Amino acid sequence: MARVSGRFRFGGRLLGAIEKRDLINAKDVDPELLKAYGELYWEAGRFSDSLDFFLGAGDLDGLAKVKARAIEAGDSFLLHRLEASAALRVEREDWLRLTEQAEKLGKGSVAETARTRAGEPAPPSEPGPGPDKGEPRRETGKR
């Protein structure tokens, strides 16, 4: 694996924001260097940063790993970033799987977002307690 690319060197540590920006936006950076940083950030649980490096490297295996993680974690932001990059195809079925996983994880608003991205209608809402659902208004004692 290449550890040096021009003025950039793989140091085995997370980069500061400026260093990261400079590396990702540099011309003629060895994709293996970007991939190495993608893996480093992945291991640190920094999946969005990892996506940046995998995109820069054109690493399809890394991008597939991010896609699987986004679905598993019910992370619509990460899957949307991947879809917007057009580097790896995100299918309607991926959004539906993310919807299902988000619901299992109790992430209702994420499930709703994913359902919308999949082009599915929202499920009928169930009436619950609240002032607009027939529950009497409570006095707070403040005037």
pLDDT given at position 122 = 75
Same structural domain for residues 81 and 116? yes
Please count the other Cβ atoms lying within 10 Å of the Cβ belonging to residue 29.
20
**Which of 17 and 123 is assigned the larger pLDDT?**
17
pLDDT class of 137 with cuts at 50, 70, 90: low
Give the pTM.
0.78
Does residue 6 register a pLDDT over 60? Answer: no
The answer to whether residue 112 is domain-embedded is yes
Is 46 found in the same domain as 5?
yes
Distance separating alpha carbons of residues 47 and 5, to the nearest angstrom: 23
Q: What value does the mean pLDDT take over residues 113-142?
A: 69
* Structural domain count of the chain: 2
Work out the mean pLDDT of the chain and round it to a whole number: 86
54 and 81 in one domain?
Answer: no
Question: Do both 43 and 81 map to the same domain?
Answer: no
Q: What per-residue confidence (pLDDT) applies to 113?
A: 95
Range from 25-39, 51-65, 109-123, 127-141 carrying the lowest mean pLDDT: 127-141
29 within 8 A of 5, measured Cβ to Cβ: yes
Task: State the sign of the Cα–Cα–Cα–Cα dihedral 121, 122, 127, 133.
Answer: negative
Number of H helices, E strands in the chain: 7, 2
Identify the pLDDT of residue 8.
58
Poorest-pLDDT segment among 9-18, 22-31, 36-45, 63-72: 9-18
* One domain for residues 19 and 46: yes
Domain identity same for 48 and 80: no
Q: Which has the closest alpha carbon to 66: 4, 57, 49, 56? A: 49
Nearest Cα neighbor of 101 from 57, 67, 142, 58 is 67
Q: Which long-range contacts (CB under 8 A, 24 or more apart) does 77-81 make?
A: 77/48, 78/47, 78/48, 78/51, 79/114, 79/117, 80/117, 81/48, 81/51
Residue 134 lies inside a defined structural domain of this protein: no
pLDDT value of residue 80: 97
Q: Report yes or no on 95 lying in a domain.
A: yes
6 falls within a domain: yes
Same structural domain for residues 44 and 82? no
Classify residue 5 by its DSSP letter. Answer: E
Domain that holds residue 32: 1-58
Q: Using the 8-state DSSP alphabet, how is residue 50 labeled?
A: H
